[in-house]
Structure 1
């Protein structure tokens, strides 16, 4: 079985992972992952989506865990609502942020929103003691620089996940065909998905109770304070 986290197959993200694994960045201090949607989905979708952390943030949680090669031990998450009323009605938020502490000491910073009028902004930054790298900083990056004379990014902003990740989806599907044919093991397993889901669950609990949450609390509910 191969879990569909397509960001692992994005060329820029894969290059960042290779740089981390090769030791080029030194000790990883911070990894930042961002998903900013240009507009929200429908109320019907939100009603059954599982919420911001399980639906949207889960892709960021997977990628920061994968990039660092470390397991999360604690999270603190918060969210807010300033848009459509249906988010609040379904107990969800339209904007969120989370800080993840990993076992090796790296800190993950994840930010999400359903309202980013300039476009679909998905990017990754990895900061280390020797170097830093970023993925998603291309001419389609939906941001406007206020630096005098700046011309980057020069292209039209990404507007949809298919134009941002078209090549990644193709690479993911090609990999799946190899997995199905028995030519290689699955690079994104059920165990990976479970660990990512624990992070999402911990973030949801943290946002609800306004406190840091240890991953062990959601893995073993009877241990909750």
Structure 2
């Protein structure tokens, strides 16, 4: 309302209705808003996006995403985080849209709270899995965990009829091969998101400055953030009601 450009970390609000209300305010004021989905500024995801959009992989048939934290956050954080889908996997949902250029039309999600008691006490889950169907029929699996003791593991695999690629697979990926000639375990696995995505955080803030100066377009506006949040909301609804959820069931802003 004051006419100032705004950079806001995700989420814009704790739930879908308040997210929609916030975005209506942005639209009414004509303000500038960039939302902090930092993976859009990671070089690996950017390269994957270029390969998909160029047709180098051929028709995509399968996409797999993973986000796994080495240890759970504090119970006080879990109680206000919004849950594993909204707080954590929302980044994967944003990348599915951004890399493939397609929209999610349906989800089926499940979750487990078999880890520490703090998850059951806060009504959250420590492990999640979801199957997403894109508008061109491509299938996506998205998994997440708060209890990946090997280290911080964020990956995306894109399999097409011509080729397949992986984002986040390097000498610090916390996974070991059981094959005789497989790569050795990472000697220094990633410890968390701040370390893994430090260059991306810097790049997104630099992009915000360029946006304010009028030098670059908005790389992640409110509608883009809303699209990822709606997928997370659909997954949470699916988990709780144990059914497939169509994205059209959830409220949205009018098309522009």
TM-score where L is the length of structure 1: 0.94
| Deviation of the 1:74 alpha carbon | 0.3
Q: What SS class does the counterpart of residue 25 from structure 1 fall into? A: coil
Query: Aligned pair 1:219/2:251, yes or no?
Result: yes
Q: Which residue of 1 aligns with 2:3?
A: none
1:96 and 1:213 map into 2 onto residues whose CA distance is 16
1:88 and 1:193 map into 2 onto residues whose CA distance is 28
| Deviation of the 1:174 alpha carbon | 1.4
Give RMSD over aligned pairs. Answer: 1.2
| Deviation of the 1:152 alpha carbon | 3.9
2:118 and 2:155 map into 1 onto residues whose CA distance is 27
Determine which of 195, 203, 206 is the counterpart of 2:238.
206
Greater RCO (Cα-Cα under 8 Å, separation 6 or more): 1
Determine which of 107, 131, 152 is the counterpart of 1:120.
152
Q: Which residue of 1 aligns with 2:211?
A: 179
Query: Aligned pair 1:69/2:101, yes or no?
Result: yes
1:108 and 1:149 map into 2 onto residues whose CA distance is 30
Q: Could you list the runs of 4 or more consecutive aligned residues of structure 1 that deviate by over 4 angstroms after TM superposition?
A: none
* Stretches of structure 1 lacking an aligned partner (at least 5 in a row): 221-225
Q: Which residue of 1 aligns with 2:85?
A: 53
Q: Which residue of 1 aligns with 2:43?
A: 11
TM-score where L is the length of structure 2: 0.83
Decide which moves more: 24-33 or 48-57: 24-33
* Stretches of structure 2 lacking an aligned partner (at least 5 in a row): 1-32
Count residues with an aligned counterpart: 220
Structure 2 matches for 1:73-84, cutoff 5 A? 73-84=105-116
